[in-house]
């Protein structure tokens, strides 16, 4: 008689707390080796470290593992956290709230929820069905891609906590105010007819009580899904950043995106809209632009427009919104981003 032996769970799921401690120590140790490893790698190549090519290569060899490590670590942790913030729970938290407070809650939830522009349509439909006000829905849809955990972690890792907090405050302000304005305009009639005619559904959720081992599984799943999806954009962004770092003269970038050029902020927003990337892909470019003398307000405006006003997201939202509502959404958000750029170029 054969005895069935259940397959043994992998070590992370058998001893989840010990796994998290060991993984954190290994991650920190590897992160400390990135600078000497990148310099050593360039030293093995037949190039002068002080040359344009040498600087570009060192930037690429250092930033590639750095961004991927930061992204993997943050996505893993937030994958664990996000097991709590399901779409059902998010809808339930926002439904029935008073305007203003609901905009604040929606924008704040956008930071910690794993939703991006590709999930804009199903989320939008779910929020409408749950009775979440239109302006509150837009506060969430603006905040979720623009002020997400990946953007904040990479900004913190590359520029420090001051820039990360600055971006957090700016992004939340744009999301909250833009959503509130759209809500005040009462544009529900500009939803597509099939969206307005959908039956309303309950905004309740069921707490499944996920264990620590289950949350670790959620973290691994998030890494496979998100890092597996965005790594080509990361490599592309770092490669472009390396070229800017190594070859673009500082005087040129300062004149093109510096404080003195008043037109640099609207130009940066116009350049950012047709681009299709995410925070992980655009931040290496931001790093290189700042190092070459670009103004912080201009660069932040560029980054926000790339993430929050991308043309692909507008095309996706066209399935549920009429042209006038999309145009209003773009105009309101773009105005907020322009104000961010001008104000910070003036005061910093």
pLDDT in tens, 195-209: 777 665 554 545 556
Handedness of CA 147, 151, 152, 155 (dihedral sign): negative
The answer as to whether 84 is a domain residue is: yes
Q: Tokens 């001893």 identify what position?
A: 15
The answer as to whether 300 is a domain residue is: yes
Whether 233 has a pLDDT exceeding 80, the answer reads no
Residue 118: predicted pLDDT: 55
**What is the C-alpha separation between 170 and 253, in angstroms, rounded?**
24
Residue 25: predicted pLDDT: 92
- Supply 308's token pair: 């929050």
pLDDT in tens, 79-94: 777 666 665 666 666 7
Q: Rank 40-49, 52-61, 250-259, 276-285 by mean pLDDT and report only the highest.
A: 40-49
**What is the C-alpha separation between 190 and 228, in angstroms, rounded?**
36
The answer as to whether 276 is a domain residue is: yes
Residue 248: predicted pLDDT: 67
Domain ranges, residue 247: 49-197+212-347
The answer as to whether 80 is a domain residue is: yes
* Residue of 256, 301, 305, 307 lying closest to 281 (CA atoms): 307
- State the total domains in the chain: 1
Q: How confident is the model at residue 26 (pLDDT cuts 50, 70, 90)?
A: very high
Q: Given its phi and psi angles, is residue 82 left (phi above 0), alpha (psi -120 to 50 degrees) or beta?
A: alpha
The answer as to whether 181 is a domain residue is: yes
204 in Cβ contact with 92 (< 8 Å): yes
* Residue of 188, 171, 198, 159 lying closest to 287 (CA atoms): 159
**What is the C-alpha separation between 134 and 325, in angstroms, rounded?**
11
Residue 4: predicted pLDDT: 47
Q: How far is CA 71 from CA 214, 222, 234, in A?
A: 21, 11, 10
* DSSP symbol at 198: S
Beta bridge partners of 321: 191
The answer as to whether 253 is a domain residue is: yes
* Residue of 261, 115, 132 lying closest to 195 (CA atoms): 132
pLDDT in tens, 269-325: 887 777 666 666 777 777 777 777 788 888 888 888 887 777 767 777 787 888 898
Whether 182 has a pLDDT exceeding 80, the answer reads yes
The answer as to whether 207 is a domain residue is: no
The answer as to whether 133 is a domain residue is: yes
Residue 11: predicted pLDDT: 65
Put simply, whether the predicted model's pTM sits higher than 0.85 gets the answer no
27 in Cβ contact with 68 (< 8 Å): no
Q: How far is CA 113 from CA 216, 318, 325, in A?
A: 16, 23, 25
93 in Cβ contact with 54 (< 8 Å): no
Kindly report the number of other CB atoms within 10 A of residue 268's CB atom.
27
Residue 253: predicted pLDDT: 59
pLDDT in tens, 119-175: 556 667 777 777 778 888 888 888 877 776 767 777 777 677 887 888 888 888 888
């Amino acid at each position: 008689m054969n005895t069935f032996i259940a397959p043994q769970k992998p070590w992370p799921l058998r001893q989840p707390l010990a796994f998290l401690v060991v993984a954190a120590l290994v991650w920190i140790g590897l992160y400390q080796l990135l600078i000497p490893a990148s310099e050593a790698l360039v030293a093995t190549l037949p190039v002068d470290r002080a040359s344009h090519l040498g600087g570009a290569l060192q930037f690429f060899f250092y930033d590639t593992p750095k961004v991927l490590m930061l992204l993997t670590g943050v996505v893993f942790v937030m994958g664990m956290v996000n097991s709590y913030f399901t779409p059902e729970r998010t809808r339930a938290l926002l439904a029935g709230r008073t305007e203003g407070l609901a905009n604040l809650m929606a924008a704040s939830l956008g930071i910690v929820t794993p939703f991006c522009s590709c999930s804009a349509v199903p989320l939008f439909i779910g929020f409408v069905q749950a009775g979440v006000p239109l302006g509150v829905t837009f506060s969430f849809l603006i905040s979720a891609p623009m002020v997400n955990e990946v953007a904040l972690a990479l900004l913190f890792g590359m520029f420090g906590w001051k820039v990360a907090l600055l971006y957090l405050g700016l992004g939340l302000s744009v999301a909250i105010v833009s959503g509130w304005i759209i809500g005040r305009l009462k544009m529900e009639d500009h939803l597509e007819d099939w969206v307005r005619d959908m039956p309303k559904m309950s905004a309740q959720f069921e707490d499944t009580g996920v264990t620590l081992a289950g949350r670790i599984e959620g973290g691994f799943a998030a890494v496979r899904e998100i890092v597996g999806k965005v790594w080509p954009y990361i490599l592309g962004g770092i490669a472009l950043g390396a070229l800017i770092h190594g070859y673009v003269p500082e005087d040129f970038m300062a004149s093109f995106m510096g404080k003195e050029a008043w037109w640099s902020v609207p130009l940066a927003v116009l350049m950012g809209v047709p681009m299709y990337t995410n925070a992980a892909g655009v931040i290496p470019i931001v790093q290189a632009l700042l190092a070459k003398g670009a103004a912080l307000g201009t660069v932040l405006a560029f980054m926000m427009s790339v993430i929050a006003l991308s043309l692909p997201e507008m095309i996706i939202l066209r399935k549920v919104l009429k042209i006038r509502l999309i145009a209003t959404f773009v105009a309101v958000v773009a105005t907020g981003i322009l104000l961010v750029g001008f104000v910070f170029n003036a005061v910093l």
